[in-house]
C-alpha cells in the first residue's frame, strides 16, 4: 500500500461525484472507497485535490493505472503548496480558472465534465500557462518515478543489487 | 599515498577538473614525477555509492549549477537551464559516459580542406593529423581497455543490439558490431568484466567501465605526486604583470575562497565551464578574458548532431537490460555529400529507464499520443545518433549579463542554433534509423530531438595560427605559455565520433609535452 493515510470517522462528508464517480470528499481529505485509500490534503482544499487527480490522469492517461498513483503524484503538489504560498496561489488560481472554463463550456466543474476529449480540450487551452506547465512537469517525476508502476511498463528498476542482467536475460530475445 | 600540497607551493602543476582530460593529465604527470594538484568542483563519490536509480543518480552526480541558454535548439525551450548533462564529481563525465571509444577519422582533422567552404560554418583544419595521434590513440586504447583493440574481445550483444543488428543488416549496412568500448569484456587492469547491469549512465557499479576515478587517479595517487582536492570550485585564474599564470582562486567546501599557487595551470572543466573560467578571469591586462586575443574563447560550441530513434515492436525487447551503448552501425560515418550534407554520423544503441523516458521521449508532450508511446516501453528498442555538427562562431558560451552564481561570478550562457547541415544530417539519420527498425517489424517509430548535451566541444579550439583559435597542437594557449586546455574545448571540429577517447589521447600526449617543457624550463 503506498504512502497515504486512511481517514475514518470524520463528521462532515460531501459526496461530490467525479466523472468516474469514484472519489468522496471530506473537509480535509479525498477518499477512494473502492481502492481503499485516502489522501489528506493540507495545502489545497479537497475539491482542488480531486480536480488535480482528474487533470493529472487527463494529462498522462494510463487506463491500467489506478487512481491511487495519480493521487500520490498530486500529493507532491499539496506538500509544495504547504511549503510555498506562491505555489498554493498558482494552483488555486489555475484550478479556479479551469473550473470556470468548464462551467462556461459545459455548465459543470472540471471533474464533472463527462468526456475525456472535452476535458483535454479545456487543458489544451491552458497549455502555455505557468499553472499547466508546473503541473505537467511535476507529473513527469511525480507519476513516473513511482517504483510501483514500473513493472506495469515492463521496467525492472535497479539491477546491480541483483547481479546485473548477465544471468537475467540481457540477451534473451529470440524473435529475430 | 595521495599527496597533500600547500597552497603556497608555487612549483605545482594545477589542473582544473578531474575528468577525461584533467584526470588523465594529472595521473600521467604524477607518474612522470611532477607534483600535481587537481582541483575538482564536485565531491568524491565512490563506486559503492552510485545508485541504480535515474533521478536519484542525477541528483547525486549531475552538474546542476545555474546556466542559461538561447538559440533555436530545442534544449533552450525544453531545458532552459540545463544545456548539458555532465558530471560534477571526481572523475568528471567519465563517471556517467557510456564507454564508446572511437578514433576520429583522417579527414575529420582537415574538414576545411576536405569539406571546403560551408556557408556560415567556421571550419578549420586541426593543427595536427591522425598520423601524429595514432601512437597516442594506441596508448589510450590500452590504458582504457577498449574492446576490439589490443586483443580484447568485443562485448556480447544485448537485446537492444540484436534489434539494431538485424535491422541494419536487412538494410545492407556492413559495419555493425558491439562497438569499441572502454568496458571490460573480461578481467583486465584489476577490474572485472561487465555484468550487464544497464545503469552505465549512473556510474558503473562493477568497475568494468573505465573512468579516471577508478583507473587513473588511484594510479597517480600511488606515486605520492598527485593530490585530488574535491569540492574545490575554481572561480578565477590569476597572472602576473608579465602575463604568466601564477595560480588560481577556488571556493572550498566551506564556501571560503582559497588561493592555490601554481607553476602552470591546465583547465579541464568541460567545454562550458572552461571558457567561462577564462572569461571570468579577465583583468586589466586581459580585458577580454585569458588567452582570448583571437576572440574565439567560448565560440564554436559544438554538441554533435544528436537525436534518437525508438522503435516499438510486437514483442518485448527489454532494451534497458545490459550495456547501454555496446552496439554500433558505422557505415554512415563516412563523408558523402551526395546524401545532402557534409560529415557523417554513427548509430549507437541507447536505452533510458522509464523515468527518463517520460522526461525525454517528447519533452513537453502529454496526452494519449504520449502515453500510448510510453506504454510500448517493454517492446521498445532505441538508438542514438552521433554526427558531426558544424562549428559556428555564433554558437558560443558567454557570461550571462544578469545571472550570477553564489560567489557572485557570472554564470555561463550557451547559445546554439542548428546549422542547415546539422538539420539535414539529423533528418537523414532519423529516416535511416526508422528504416532500420521498420525493416525488422517495428509497428511504430519515434524520432526524438537532442537531449541536454552530453558531448560538449570546441569552445577553446586548437589552431595553427593564434588569430584563429585559443590553443596550439599541444593544448597550450597561444597567449600564455603556462596556461593549457585539456578537455574537449580544444577540438577544432567535432567529428562523427564520441569524444572521450580523443580527449584522453590528447591528454597523454599533452603530458609528454608538458614534462618536456618543464624539464627544459620553458614553463
Q: What pLDDT does B119 receive?
A: 97
Q: Please tell me which residue of chain B has the smallest CA distance to A169.
A: B321
Chain B positions with Cβ closer than 8 Å to A: 51-53, 55, 156-159, 162-163, 166, 194-199, 205-206, 315-318, 320-322, 353-355, 358-359, 364, 366-368, 370-371, 374-375, 377-379, 440
Count of Cβ atoms closer than 10 Å to residue B391 Cβ = 25
The number of C-beta contacts closer than 8 angstroms across A and B is: 113
Instruction: For residue A173, give the nearest of B159, B370, B374 by CB distance.
Output: B159
Count of Cβ atoms closer than 10 Å to residue B188 Cβ = 14
Please give the residue that has the higher pLDDT: either A20 or B231. Answer: B231
Task: Give the H or E element holding residue B251.
Answer: strand B245-251
Helix-helix angle B500-519:B130-144, to 10 degrees = 100
Q: What pLDDT does B16 receive?
A: 98
- The three cell numbers locating residue B491: 577540438
Q: Which residues of chain B have pLDDT under 70?
A: none
B497 close to B333: Cβ distance less than 8 angstroms: yes
Task: Return d(Cα B428, Cα B436) in angstroms, integer.
Answer: 12
Helical segments of B125-269, H only: 130-144, 159-171, 217-222
Instruction: For residue A141, give the nearest of B55, B321, B366 by CB distance.
Output: B55
- Nearest in space to B491 (alpha carbons), one of B362, B357, B302: B302
Pairing of strands B13-16, B36-39: parallel
Task: Return d(Cα B246, Cα B267) in angstroms, integer.
Answer: 14
- CB contact (8 A) between residue A170 and residue B198: yes
B122 close to B392: Cβ distance less than 8 angstroms: yes
| B30-84 tens-digit pLDDT | 999 999 999 999 999 999 999 999 999 999 999 999 999 999 999 999 999 999 9
Task: Return d(Cα B271, Cα B397) in angstroms, integer.
Answer: 9
Q: What pLDDT does A33 receive?
A: 87
CB contacts of B368 in chain A (<8 Å) are: 61
Checking if the pLDDT of A15 tops 80, the result is: no
Task: Return d(Cα A19, Cα B223) in angstroms, integer.
Answer: 70
Helix-helix angle A85-106:A130-144, to 10 degrees = 110
Q: What pLDDT does A20 receive?
A: 56
Beta-carbon contacts of residue B472 (< 8 Å; ≥ 6 apart) = B127, B462, B463, B464, B478
Checking if the pLDDT of A16 tops 90, the result is: no
Q: In the predicted model, what is the mean pLDDT of chain A? A: 89
- Mutation pick from A160, A161, A163 vs chain B, by most beta carbons of B within 10 Å, is A160
- CB contact (8 A) between residue B354 and residue A60: no
B478 close to B293: Cβ distance less than 8 angstroms: yes
Q: Please tell me which residue of chain A has the smallest CA distance to B47.
A: A160
- CB contact (8 A) between residue B159 and residue A166: no
Checking if the pLDDT of A153 tops 50, the result is: yes
Please give the residue that has the higher pLDDT: either A19 or B107. Answer: B107
- Mutation pick from B165, B178, B355, B370 vs chain A, by most beta carbons of A within 10 Å, is B355
Beta-carbon contacts of residue B171 (< 8 Å; ≥ 6 apart) = B432, B435, B436, B439
Surface-to-core class of residue B122, CB atoms within 10 Å of its CB (0-12 exposed, 13-18 middle, 19+ buried): buried
Q: What pLDDT does B375 receive?
A: 98
B502 close to B492: Cβ distance less than 8 angstroms: no
**DSSP class per residue in B283-300:** -SSSTT-TT-TTS-TTBS
Task: Give the H or E element holding residue A98.
Answer: helix A85-106
Instruction: For residue A61, give the nearest of B51, B353, B368 by CB distance.
Output: B368
Count of Cβ atoms closer than 10 Å to residue B307 Cβ = 24
Chain mean position to CA A99 = 17
- CB contact (8 A) between residue A153 and residue B317: no
Instruction: For residue B366, give the nearest of A136, A158, A171 by CB distance.
Output: A136
- The three cell numbers locating residue B415: 547559445
Count of Cβ atoms closer than 10 Å to residue B174 Cβ = 9
Count of Cβ atoms closer than 10 Å to residue B131 Cβ = 9
Give the dihedral sign, CA B334/B336/B340/B341: positive
Q: What pLDDT does A10 receive?
A: 37
ipTM above 0.90, yes or no: yes
CB contacts of A165 in chain B (<8 Å) are: 158, 195-198, 321-322
Task: Return d(Cα B105, Cα B502) in angstroms, integer.
Answer: 11
Q: Rg of the Cα trace of chain A?
A: 18
Q: What pLDDT does A41 receive?
A: 87
- CB contact (8 A) between residue B195 and residue A120: no
Task: Return d(Cα B453, Cα B74) in angstroms, integer.
Answer: 11
CB contacts of A57 in chain B (<8 Å) are: none
Surface-to-core class of residue B93, CB atoms within 10 Å of its CB (0-12 exposed, 13-18 middle, 19+ buried): buried
Q: What pLDDT does B423 receive?
A: 98
* pTM exceeds 0.90: yes
CA distance A159 to chain B (A): 6
Instruction: For residue B318, give the nearest of A60, A136, A154 by CB distance.
Output: A154
Instruction: For residue B354, give the nearest of A60, A153, A166 by CB distance.
Output: A153
Amino acid at each position: 500500500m503506498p504512502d497515504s493515510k486512511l481517514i475514518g470517522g470524520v463528521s462532515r462528508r460531501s459526496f461530490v461525484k467525479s466523472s468516474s464517480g469514484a472519489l468522496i470528499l471530506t473537509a480535509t481529505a479525498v477518499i477512494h472507497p473502492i481502492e481503499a485509500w485516502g489522501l489528506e490534503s493540507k495545502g489545497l482544499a479537497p475539491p482542488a485535490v480531486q480536480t488535480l487527480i482528474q487533470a493529472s490522469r487527463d494529462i498522462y492517461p494510463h487506463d491500467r493505472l489506478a487512481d491511487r498513483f495519480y493521487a500520490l503524484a498530486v500529493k507532491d503538489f499539496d506538500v509544495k503548496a504547504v511549503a510555498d504560498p506562491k505555489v498554493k496561489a498558482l494552483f488555486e488560481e489555475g484550478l479556479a480558472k479551469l473550473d470556470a472554463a468548464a462551467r462556461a463550456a459545459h455548465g459543470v466543474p472540471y471533474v464533472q465534465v463527462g468526456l475525456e476529449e472535452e476535458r483535454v480540450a479545456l487543458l489544451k487551452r491552458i497549455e502555455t500557462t505557468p499553472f499547466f506547465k508546473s503541473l505537467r512537469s511535476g507529473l513527469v517525476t511525480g507519476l513516473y518515478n513511482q517504483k510501483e508502476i514500473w513493472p506495469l511498463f515492463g521496467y525492472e528498476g535497479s539491477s546491480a543489487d541483483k547481479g546485473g542482467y548477465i544471468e537475467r536475460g540481457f540477451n534473451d530475445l529470440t524473435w529475430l | 599515498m595521495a599527496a597533500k600540497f600547500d597552497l603556497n607551493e608555487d612549483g605545482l602543476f594545477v589542473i582544473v577538473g578531474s575528468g577525461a582530460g584533467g584526470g588523465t593529465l594529472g595521473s600521467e604527470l604524477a607518474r612522470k614525477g611532477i607534483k600535481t594538484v587537481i582541483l575538482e568542483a564536485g565531491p568524491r563519490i565512490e563506486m559503492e555509492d552510485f545508485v541504480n536509480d535515474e533521478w536519484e543518480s542525477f541528483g547525486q552526480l549531475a552538474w546542476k549549477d545555474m546556466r542559461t541558454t538561447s538559440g533555436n535548439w530545442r534544449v533552450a525551450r525544453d531545458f532552459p537551464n540545463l544545456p548539458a548533462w555532465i558530471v560534477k564529481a571526481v572523475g568528471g563525465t567519465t563517471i556517467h559516459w557510456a564507454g564508446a571509444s572511437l578514433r576520429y577519422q583522417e579527414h575529420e582533422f582537415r574538414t576545411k580542406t576536405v569539406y571546403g567552404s560551408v556557408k556560415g560554418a567556421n571550419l578549420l583544419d586541426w593543427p595536427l593529423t591522425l598520423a601524429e595521434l595514432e601512437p597516442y590513440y594506441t596508448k589510450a586504447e590500452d590504458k582504457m581497455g577498449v574492446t576490439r583493440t589490443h586483443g580484447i574481445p568485443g562485448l556480447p550483444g544485448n537485446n537492444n543490439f540484436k534489434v539494431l543488428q538485424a535491422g541494419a543488416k536487412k538494410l545492407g549496412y556492413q559495419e555493425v558490431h558491439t562497438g569499441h568500448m572502454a568496458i571490460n569484456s573480461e578481467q583486465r587492469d584489476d577490474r572485472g568484466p561487465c555484468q550487464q547491469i544497464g545503469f552505465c549512465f549512473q556510474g558503473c557499479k562493477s568497475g568494468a567501465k573505465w573512468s579516471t576515478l577508478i583507473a587513473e587517479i588511484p594510479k597517480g595517487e600511488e606515486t605520492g605526486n598527485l593530490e585530488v582536492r574535491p569540492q574545490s570550485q575554481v572561480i578565477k585564474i590569476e597572472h602576473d604583470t608579465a602575463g604568466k599564470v601564477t595560480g588560481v582562486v577556488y571556493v572550498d567546501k566551506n564556501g571560503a575562497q582559497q588561493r592555490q599557487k601554481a607553476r602552470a595551470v591546465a583547465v579541464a572543466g568541460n567545454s562550458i565551464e572552461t571558457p567561462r573560467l577564462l572569461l571570468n578571469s579577465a583583468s586589466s591586462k586581459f580585458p577580454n578574458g585569458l588567452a582570448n586575443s583571437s576572440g574565439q574563447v567560448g565560440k564554436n560550441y559544438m554538441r554533435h548532431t544528436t537525436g534518437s530513434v525508438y522503435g516499438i515492436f510486437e514483442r518485448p525487447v527489454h532494451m534497458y537490460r545490459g550495456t547501454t551503448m555496446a552496439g554500433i552501425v558505422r557505415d554512415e560515418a563516412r563523408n558523402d555529400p551526395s546524401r545532402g550534407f557534409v560529415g557523417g554520423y554513427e548509430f549507437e544503441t541507447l536505452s533510458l529507464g522509464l523515468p527518463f523516458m517520460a522526461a525525454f521521449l517528447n519533452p513537453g508532450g502529454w496526452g494519449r499520443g504520449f502515453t500510448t508511446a510510453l506504454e510500448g516501453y517493454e517492446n521498445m528498442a532505441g538508438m542514438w545518433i552521433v554526427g558531426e555538427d558544424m562549428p559556428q562562431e555564433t554558437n558560443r558560451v558567454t557570461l550571462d549579463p544578469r545571472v550570477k552564481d553564489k560567489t557572485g561570478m557570472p554564470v555561463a550562457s550557451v547559445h546554439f542554433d542548428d546549422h542547415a547541415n546539422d538539420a539535414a544530417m539529423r533528418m537523414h539519420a532519423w529516416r535511416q534509423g526508422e528504416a532500420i527498425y521498420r525493416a525488422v517489424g517495428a509497428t511504430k517509430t519515434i524520432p526524438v530531438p537532442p537531449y541536454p548535451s552530453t558531448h560538449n566541444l570546441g569552445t577553446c579550439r586548437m589552431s595553427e595560427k593564434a588569430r584563429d583559435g585559443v590553443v596550439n597542437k599541444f593544448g597550450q594557449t597561444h597567449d600564455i605559455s603556462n596556461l593549457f586546455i585539456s578537455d574537449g574545448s580544444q577540438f577544432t571540429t567535432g567529428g562523427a565520433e564520441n569524444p572521450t577517447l580523443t580527449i584522453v589521447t590528447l591528454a597523454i600526449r599533452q603530458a609528454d609535452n608538458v614534462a618536456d617543457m618543464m624539464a627544459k624550463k620553458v614553463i
